[in-house]
Structure 1
Amino acid sequence: MHLRSFLALAVLAIAPFAHAQQTIRLSTTTSTENSGLLAWLLPAFEAKTGSKVRVISVGTGKALELARNGDVDVTLVHARGAEDKFVAEGHGIDRRDVMYNDFVVAGPAADPARVSGGKDVIAAFKKIAASDAKFISRGDNSGTDVMEKSYWKTAGVQPATGKYVSAGLGMGEVLNMAAELQAYTLTDRATYSSYKARTGLEVLVQGDPRMYNPYGIIAVNPERHKGVNHKGAMQLIDWITSSEGQQKIASFKPQGQQLFFPSASKPQAGAISR
């Protein structure tokens, strides 16, 4: 065989393998990682496409910063205001709804602030602030942290110095800290469910429409960062918002409980009923 023909055949043989090994860099929130959702979703995507997803799990603020700097190809977060700003400033394109769940107030079974059974998160925050109990905040500019801060602002109060702990940690670590200190915290339901057995914390407040927690996925703008894998980003976006991806999200039910609800085809109004 002529050397040129041999080399051409070799390139053709290697090309599919090289394509199969493309890496997609995804920045996302600790809730999607801590809950086990990504471990459930991504193997199905990788098996179907041959692509490899490298996950960087941080708070939403940091996830968007990584995307803004072009350090990732795509981001999956839950802070709609920040997401819209990110797109409006030209850092991201083709934002799509993916799924939703809700926030809950978790705390010790003893419930010293007497908030158990309530459905008004603002009233609950006022009671916590007036009590001697501690409150553990993410303190990391995550979607959960942003939402929590908005509740305190609406309530017009905050726990006294020494009773409000800004942890600067991910959701799972904050839940462990709340359990150790017998404190309250705001958490997404999915991460709470994954940590419930090890923390012993109870869901004490839930069902307030203001605790609606939507997630969106956004491709990094390739015009801003020429080196991003835009093709891979769109491949992931298209799959996770497809009927296959959405069904996979709906079927994630650890201990028989559905933790995320697909919303790509049916945008939600924001009401949560529990």
Structure 2
Amino acid sequence: MNRLRRLVLAAALALPATPILAQSPFIVVASTTSTEQSGLFGHLLPQYKAATGVEARVVALGTGQALDMGRRGDADVLFVHDQAAEEKFVAEGFGLKRQPVMYNDFVLIGPTADPAKTRGKDIVAALQKLGAAGAAFVSRGDKSGTHAAELRYWTAAGTDIAAAKPNGYKECGCGMGPALNMAASTGAYVLADRGTWLSFKNRADLAVLVEGDTRLFNPYGVIVVNPAKHAHVKQMLAQGFADWLVSPAGQAAIAAYKIGGEQLFFPNAIK
């Protein structure tokens, strides 16, 4: 029995001795729609359970909502992608620490014909062109990590979305998949994480138009919710999940997840 599995078993035995917990220890993971809709969890979680015997029950939300779940104590561990918000969460005492897990990147998706002429590597210039043209743009508008990144890019482009939205700007208040579906059905532009885009089937006339800008870097981290704030948090089991994600086995599993031969996420745990 490896060390990680022994630690998880010890944590499970330390829980109240009810038949259900003894048979199936579990944790609640608040995560993002990108990790769910890209298919990553379908790939990772069976391997995690096989290694530890613990079930991870995922609630997929925007990162902002996932962090709010942690603040309320409705999750044991967070796996999200808005580093500034994650570090604030830890600084406020709601999380024990942020551990880097992996990264991918954001891409600007739009009609293949690109009527606003955004194609290239500069996301700020692209948004300036979208704003000037009044082109249709779908924003998730859901306080997710993708939404937070989008707002940063608009600000860098000289547009304060909170003060005045450009013509054509629509908020869906939805996850990444539905936002892509809306863009596909209306011929709109949309900012997406590459993982969800690669797994997206209903592309219609959409294509990747802007990629490769260093500002589009999209890091993911894992945070165990602080049991000092919420005593019912399953700290040992949650830490076991975090430790598995950053272990050689977890990092290899992340690297191995591909669609059409293309890797969706790149492990970057600190050794």
TM-score by length of 2: 0.89
Q: 1:131 maps to which residue? A: 133
- The answer to whether the aligner puts 1:189 opposite 2:194 as a matched pair is yes
- Indicate conservation of the 8 Å contact 2:140/2:173, yes or no: yes
**CA deviation after TM superposition for structure 1 residue 199, in Å:** 3.9
Q: 2:249 maps to which residue? A: 244
Overall identity of the aligned pairs, in %: 50
1:137 partner amino acid: S
Residue by residue, what CA displacement relative to the aligned partner does 1:84-143 show, whole Å, maximum 9, x if unpaired?
000000000132000000000000112110112x11100000011111420000100001
Select the residue among 139, 143, 148 that pairs with 1:146. Answer: 148
Q: 2:69 maps to which residue? A: 66
| Structure 2 alignment gaps of length 5 or more | 1-12
TM-score by length of 1: 0.88
**CA deviation after TM superposition for structure 1 residue 170, in Å:** 0.1
Select the residue among 28, 31, 34 that pairs with 1:28. Answer: 31
- The answer to whether the aligner puts 1:115 opposite 2:118 as a matched pair is yes
CA change 1:160–1:26 in 2 (3 A) is closer
Q: Distance in 2 between matches of 1:143 and 1:50?
A: 30
Q: Distance in 1 between matches of 2:204 and 2:80?
A: 25
Alignment of 1:217-236 (within 5 A): 217-236=222-241
| Structure 1 alignment gaps of length 5 or more | 1-10, 267-274
Q: Distance in 2 between matches of 1:39 and 1:250?
A: 14
Q: Distance in 2 between matches of 1:58 and 1:179?
A: 22
Q: 1:80 maps to which residue? A: 83
- Indicate conservation of the 8 Å contact 2:181/2:202, yes or no: no
Select the residue among 207, 214, 222 that pairs with 2:219. Answer: 214
1:120 partner amino acid: D
Q: 1:271 maps to which residue? A: none
2:254 partner amino acid: I
- Indicate conservation of the 8 Å contact 1:175/1:199, yes or no: no
Residue by residue, what CA displacement relative to the aligned partner does 1:17-61 show, whole Å, maximum 9, x if unpaired?
844511100000000000000000000001111111110000000
Q: Distance in 1 between matches of 2:125 and 2:203?
A: 28
- Indicate conservation of the 8 Å contact 1:30/1:57, yes or no: yes
Question: What count of residue pairs does the alignment treat as equivalent?
Answer: 253
> In structure 2, the residue corresponding to 1:225 is in which secondary structure?
coil
- The answer to whether the aligner puts 1:44 opposite 2:52 as a matched pair is no
**CA deviation after TM superposition for structure 1 residue 254, in Å:** 1.3
- Indicate conservation of the 8 Å contact 1:96/1:217, yes or no: yes
Residue by residue, what CA displacement relative to the aligned partner does 1:194-227 show, whole Å, maximum 9, x if unpaired?
1155444100000000000000000000111001
Q: 1:8 maps to which residue? A: none
CA change 1:79–1:190 in 2 (3 A) is same
Q: Distance in 1 between matches of 2:200 and 2:104?
A: 16
Select the residue among 258, 262, 269 that pairs with 2:267. Answer: 262
